[in-house]
Amino acid sequence: MPKAMVIDDSRAVRMILSRILRGVGYDVSEAANGKDALAKLAAGESVSLVLVDWNMPELNGLEFVRCLRADPSAASIKIMMVTTETEIDRMVTALEAGANEYVMKPFTAEVISDKLKLLGAL
């Protein structure tokens, strides 16, 4: 079973995204911010997919994406930014930093599934 991590400071959003991912066959772990997520990955947690919010305390989603992309061993991890940031320049910034896909909140399960298909993650 493929493994995914959902990173968002909103417990409700983590639960919703985790439910969607489990529904399409993922084993899911969660982190409340980028710092916690990096710690889990450094401790040996292995994932093939990350869904990450932009606006979080301690280490935001953009900083997380940059940190993850700076690690050559994490190059194969697919990253989907799921955020309230709707400006085109924010999307471009996230994609240039290394995010593979960008989803704006609010989202539906269908939108997440469609993006997973585009990523080759479904």
Mean pLDDT (the chain, rounded): 97
Residue 88 burial class via C-beta count within 10 angstroms: exposed 0-12, middle 13-18, buried 19 and up: exposed
Range of the domain at 53: 3-119
pLDDT in tens, 32-65: 999 999 999 999 999 999 999 999 999 999 999 9
Q: What is the CATH number of the domain that holds 102?
A: 3.40.50.2300
| Separation of first and last alpha carbons in the chain | 12
Long-range contacts of 9-14 (CB under 8 A, 24+ apart): 9/33, 9/53, 9/55, 9/56, 9/57, 10/53, 13/53, 13/82, 13/105
- Total number of domains constituting the chain: 1
pLDDT in tens, 4-40: 999 999 999 999 999 999 999 999 999 999 999 999 9
* The overall pTM is greater than 0.95: yes
